[in-house]
């Protein structure tokens, strides 16, 4: 009865407000006519972080927010609103995280780095104006690049639910995100409930092995029972915000000269020549960017795009195969780093005879969220890094480790502070030998190199110089590769 009364009150509110755009945050009405930091929220409810709204792009941003508010946290009456989360955001309440009268999106900067923790009753995404929205005006919920940890402690609806969805169409689309949804066993519905369709892109269920059952409009187990504990993990590669899948990975579908093979975790750039930038983002550990021929990428002067964005604890390998080259020019003084690295991530430049990067910002920045734990490996490669803006003094900044294998820094090898900083606006590095199979650097490819790799395997040394076959593992495959090189001499 209590829930029915609440639904009727919300429906009545929808009749009054759905005709005009509006936005409510923690009980306060937001001025949607101008960019603003949301004010008027008591410190009792908002103990940490900032909340801002940007009208031109319809973006409501939560930056490391912590709240304890007992009503509906966000009321959406702007069609196409994006709710963007940065850092870690903690919400506690007994009403909805989002009460939506119109379609909206939740997004983050990468699922491993944008986190939302929400604890309350069951219905997290509630279409509260259900009695005033017809089938001709469905509500669509999109979730992208974010981690959502949602826990239910009350006896109401599903953790993600479209309240009363039988009255109109509503869809849920989840891309490249991590979700952990838990509700009490005595809740009458499943963790995802009430939508006419649910789709997952670049992510897949971890537990349980579920199916979305349209007749029940819910996630269900194989035996037909509703799901009360659900986990979803992301695994993705995107190019200029387009998620690569089997359907679009053929060469030329995303951009001319680019192709993707999921089985080998390889993105191939084959004589790419672009003047509008190229951003490769991933959370796949061991992703290989294979260079074939001469590749040239120019970013526009007004662009703020990186070239590689790697999520936390992710290694990306740029592999030239001893012949492929890469040149990147970025015209923006305030551009983002070419290598935008999250905590614990690694970039390895391997067997690239020429990699030359010029941009306005630091070329590699590993100090996201002040962690300073990213790493750069240069293996048997030559190239230059250059920044053009006087605002930034370090071509490499905030990384935990710079490791060289069969390469040396010619210019820019001063470490002014820890985490590692280049101390210069330019860096020149070069390969120090002409053969990656010469592991012990004695000028010969022979049994000595085989013994060096065998010793590395024995002691568990996974240094990149021993990984001569480029499969991100130091094992018998590398021994075989050296033996083949010896026989080919």
pLDDT in tens, 133-187: 434 567 888 999 898 887 765 544 444 555 444 445 678 888 888 888 776 655 5
Question: Are 189 and 47 contained in the same domain?
Answer: yes
Query: Is residue 437, in this structure, part of any structural domain at all?
Result: no
Question: Are 224 and 342 contained in the same domain?
Answer: no
3-state SS class at 322: coil
Query: Is residue 440, in this structure, part of any structural domain at all?
Result: no
Question: Are 256 and 170 contained in the same domain?
Answer: no
Q: Average per-residue pLDDT in the chain?
A: 77
Q: Is the pLDDT of residue 33 over 60?
A: yes
390 Cβ contact partners less than 8 Å away, ≥ 6 residues apart: none
Q: Return the H-helix or E-strand segment holding 477.
A: helix 476-488
Q: Return the H-helix or E-strand segment holding 365.
A: strand 364-365
Question: Are 311 and 276 contained in the same domain?
Answer: yes
Pairing of strands 280-282, 258-261: unpaired
Q: For residue 166, give Cα distances in angstroms to 57, 191, 211.
A: 31, 17, 19
Which one is predicted more confidently, 146 or 343? 146
Strand partners, 439: none
pLDDT score recorded for residue 188: 54
Decide: 94 and 118 in contact? Cβ < 8 Å. no
Closest CA to 259 of 276, 280, 275, 233: 280
pLDDT band at 451 (very low <50, low <70, confident <90, very high): very high
Rounded to 10 degrees, the C-alpha dihedral 132/138/142/147 comes to 40
pLDDT score recorded for residue 133: 40
Question: Are 369 and 463 contained in the same domain?
Answer: no
Question: Are 253 and 207 contained in the same domain?
Answer: no
Pairing of strands 81-92, 59-68: parallel
Provide the 10 A C-beta neighbour count for residue 217: 22
Task: Tell me how far the alpha carbon of residue 144 is from its chain's centroid.
Answer: 9
Give the residue-averaged pLDDT of 93-107.
81
User: Could you write out the DSSP letters of every residue in 183-207?
Assistant: --TT-SS-SEES-SEEEEESEEEEE
Give the residue-averaged pLDDT of 272-301.
89
Question: Are 414 and 426 contained in the same domain?
Answer: yes
Task: Rank 35-39, 153-157, 266-270, 480-484 by mean pLDDT and report only the highest.
Answer: 266-270
Domain span including residue 402: 237-431
Q: For residue 424, give Cα distances in angstroms to 200, 376, 401.
A: 44, 16, 16
Q: Return the H-helix or E-strand segment holding 346.
A: strand 346-350
224: left (phi over 0), alpha (psi -120 to 50) or beta: left
Question: Are 246 and 146 contained in the same domain?
Answer: no
Return d(Cα 281, Cα 287) in angstroms, integer: 10
This prediction has a pTM of 0.65
User: What would the two tokens of residue 26 be?
Assistant: 């923690």
Select from 234, 252, 267 the last residue of a domain. Answer: 234
Q: For residue 482, give Cα distances in angstroms to 323, 349, 439.
A: 19, 20, 9
Strand partners, 220: 211, 226
Query: Is residue 438, in this structure, part of any structural domain at all?
Result: no
Query: Is residue 298, in this structure, part of any structural domain at all?
Result: yes
**Out of 155-169, 364-378, 425-439, least confident range:** 155-169
Decide: 122 and 160 in contact? Cβ < 8 Å. no
Radius of gyration, CA atoms only, the chain? 26
Decide: 312 and 345 in contact? Cβ < 8 Å. yes
Strand partners, 198: 172
Q: For residue 334, give Cα distances in angstroms to 302, 304, 386, 388, 392.
A: 9, 7, 14, 10, 9
Query: Is residue 146, in this structure, part of any structural domain at all?
Result: yes
Pairing of strands 237-239, 266-270: unpaired
> What are the two backbone dihedrals, phi and then psi, of residue 269, each rounded to the nearest 5 degrees?
-105, 110
Question: Are 253 and 228 contained in the same domain?
Answer: no
Return d(Cα 453, Cα 445) in angstroms, integer: 12
Strand partners, 23: 76
241: left (phi over 0), alpha (psi -120 to 50) or beta: left
Question: Are 81 and 142 contained in the same domain?
Answer: yes
Select from 206, 234, 262 the last residue of a domain. Answer: 234
Return d(Cα 234, Cα 311) in angstroms, integer: 11
pLDDT score recorded for residue 1: 34
Return d(Cα 350, Cα 129) in angstroms, integer: 56
Decide: 205 and 231 in contact? Cβ < 8 Å. yes
């Amino acid at each position: 009865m209590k829930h029915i009364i609440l639904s009727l009150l919300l429906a009545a509110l929808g009749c009054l407000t759905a005709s005009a755009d509006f936005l409510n945050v923690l009980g306060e009405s937001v001025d949607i006519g101008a960019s603003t930091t949301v004010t008027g929220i008591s410190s009792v409810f908002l103990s940490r972080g900032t909340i801002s709204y940007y009208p031109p792009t319809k973006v409501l941003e939560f930056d490391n927010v912590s709240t304890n508010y007992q009503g509906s946290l966000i009321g959406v009456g702007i069609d196409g609103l994006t709710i963007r989360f940065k850092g870690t955001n903690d919400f506690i309440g007994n009403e909805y995280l989002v009460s939506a009268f119109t379609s909206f999106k939740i997004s983050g900067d990468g699922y491993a780095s944008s986190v939302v923790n929400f604890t309350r009753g069951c219905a997290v995404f509630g279409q509260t104006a259900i009695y005033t929205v017809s089938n001709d005006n469905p509500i669509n919920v999109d979730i992208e690049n974010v981690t959502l940890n949602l826990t239910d402690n009350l006896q109401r609806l599903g953790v993600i639910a479209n309240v009363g969805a039988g009255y109109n169409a509503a869809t849920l689309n989840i891309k490249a995100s991590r979700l952990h949804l838990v509700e009490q066993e005595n809740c009458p519905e499943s963790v995802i409930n009430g939508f006419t369709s649910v789709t997952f892109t670049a992510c897949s269920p971890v537990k349980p092995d579920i199916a979305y059952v349209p007749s029940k409009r819910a996630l269900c187990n194989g035996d037909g029972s509703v799901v009360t504990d659900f986990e979803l993990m992301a695994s993705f590669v995107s190019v200029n915000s387009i998620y690569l899948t089997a359907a679009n990975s053929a060469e030329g579908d995303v951009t001319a000269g680019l192709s993707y093979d999921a089985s080998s975790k390889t993105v191939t750039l084959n004589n790419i020549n672009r003047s509008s930038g190229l951003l490769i983002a991933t959370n796949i550990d061991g992703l290989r960017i294979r260079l074939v021929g001469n590749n040239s990428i120019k970013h526009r002067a007004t662009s703020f795009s990186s070239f590689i964005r790697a999520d936390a604890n992710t290694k990306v390998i740029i592999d030239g195969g001893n012949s492929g080259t890469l040149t990147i020019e970025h015209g923006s003084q305030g551009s983002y780093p070419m290598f935008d690295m999250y905590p614990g991530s690694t970039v390895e430049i391997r067997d690239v005879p020429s990699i030359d990067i010029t941009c306005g910002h630091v070329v590699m920045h590993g100090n996201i969220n002040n962690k300073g734990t990213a790493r750069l490996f240069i293996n048997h490669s030559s190239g230059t890094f250059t920044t053009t803006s006087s605002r930034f003094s370090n071509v490499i900044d905030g990384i935990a480790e710079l490791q060289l294998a069969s390469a040396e820094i010619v210019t820019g090898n001063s470490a002014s502070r820890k985490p590692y900083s280049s101390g210069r606006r330019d860096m020149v590095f070069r390969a120090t030998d002409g053969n990656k199979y010469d592991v012990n650097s004695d000028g010969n490819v022979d049994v000595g190199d085989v013994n060096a790799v065998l010793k590395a395997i024995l002691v568990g040394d996974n240094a990149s110089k021993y990984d001569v076959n480029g499969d991100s593992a130091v094992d018998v495959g590398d021994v075989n590769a050296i033996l083949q090189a010896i026989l080919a001499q």
